[in-house]
Amino acid sequence: MFKKMPYYVCKGAKLKCSMGDSQSELKVLPGKFGFFCGNDMANIMDNKPMVNIQPFGQCQSIANPTVAAATAANWGKLQPMPCIPNTTAPWMNGKTNVNTKSFPVLLSNSKLMCMWAGTIEITNENTKIKGQ
């Protein structure tokens, strides 16, 4: 079985959270280094909520306090609430031997955990340069 080669990730990559109901777009702040194929390249520290990681529509994780409260008020029937990402750790699986802005670059197979039990994945990396 062949594994799909990971690609480098740039600004504008599409993201999906397992607990959200819509996709989002990765925001990467411009910097002196890290410009690649016409876009700013992402690194593992591009994980800041509402700066790099935008909301994913409605959150349906009962670990999210607003969802838990709304669900309790709805007699226990799941009540999704607006997503407010809560990402505190860096992305996992960056390319450790290639840095941009002093941190490992982000690859298309990288994952980010939300404190509300969601797993954030890259669905479209916005580049076609392989990060072997």
Question: Is the model's pTM score more than 0.75?
Answer: yes
When pLDDT is cut at 50, 70 and 90, the band that residue 126 belongs to is confident
Among residues 74, 80, 49, 75, which one has the least CA distance to residue 62?
Answer: 80
pLDDT value for 43: 95
The answer as to whether 102 is a domain residue is: yes
CA 75/CA 60 separation, integer angstroms: 16
pLDDT value for 57: 98
The answer as to whether 45 is a domain residue is: yes
List, for residues 36-48, the tens digit of each pLDDT value: 667 789 999 999 9
The answer as to whether 8 is a domain residue is: no
The answer as to whether 23 is a domain residue is: yes
Please identify which residue in the block is written with the tokens 């969601």: 118
List, for residues 47-101, the tens digit of each pLDDT value: 999 999 999 999 999 999 999 999 999 999 999 999 999 999 999 999 999 888 8
pLDDT value for 5: 82
The answer as to whether 106 is a domain residue is: yes
The answer as to whether 46 is a domain residue is: yes
List, for residues 19-33, the tens digit of each pLDDT value: 999 999 999 988 756
When pLDDT is cut at 50, 70 and 90, the band that residue 127 belongs to is low
What is the number of structural domains in the chain?
Answer: 1
E strand intervals along 3-131: 14-17, 24-25, 35-36, 39-40, 58-59, 81-82, 95-100, 103-105, 111-113, 119-124
The answer as to whether 76 is a domain residue is: no
Q: Give yes or no for residue 35 having a pLDDT over 90.
A: no
The answer as to whether 22 is a domain residue is: yes
pLDDT value for 131: 58
End-to-end CA distance of the chain: 18
Question: Could you give phi then psi for residue 43, rounded to 5 degrees?
Answer: -125, 175
| 23: containing domain | 14-27+35-57+86-124
Instruction: Check: CB of residue 51 under 8 Å from CB of residue 28.
Output: no
